[in-house]
Amino acid sequence: MTLSAKCVLVYVLRKSGCAGRLNLGRVERHGSSGVNVYDRLGNLIEYISGDRVRSWCLFGGSGVPLENWSHVVPDDASAIRTQFSAG
């Protein structure tokens, strides 16, 4: 899935609990609940890929999560929505 102004990745890191958002690059599924994130040149962004991400969600241009493109643990739901709204 290509990231853009109309397709934004919001994530929460596993170790630190820090939340962030990204709208450049590409996201691929990694296993049943993870993602691998690549920059616009196709290089893997390791710190927000694989098991380093606890929760993640792709939002479409209307602000609605894209179907089947999220894995959010209950404790992170508020952080995911807040981070999306902050952008």
Paired tokens of 51: 């098991």
Paired tokens of 12: 């929460």
What is the C-alpha separation between 37 and 23, in angstroms, rounded? 11
Segments making up each domain of the chain, as ranges: 2-86
Q: Is 9 exposed, middle or buried (0-12, 13-18, 19+ CB in 10 A)?
A: buried
What is the C-alpha separation between 66 and 42, in angstroms, rounded? 22
* Tens-digit pLDDT string for the chain (87 aa): 999 999 999 999 999 999 999 999 999 999 888 999 999 999 999 999 999 999 999 999 888 999 999 999 999 999 998 888 876
Task: Write out the H or E segment, with its range, that includes residue 34.
Answer: strand 34-38
Q: Got the DSSP string for 25-63?
A: EEEEEETTTEEEEE-TTS-B-GGGSGGGEEEEEEEETTS
Q: Which residues are bridge partners to 21 per DSSP? A: 10
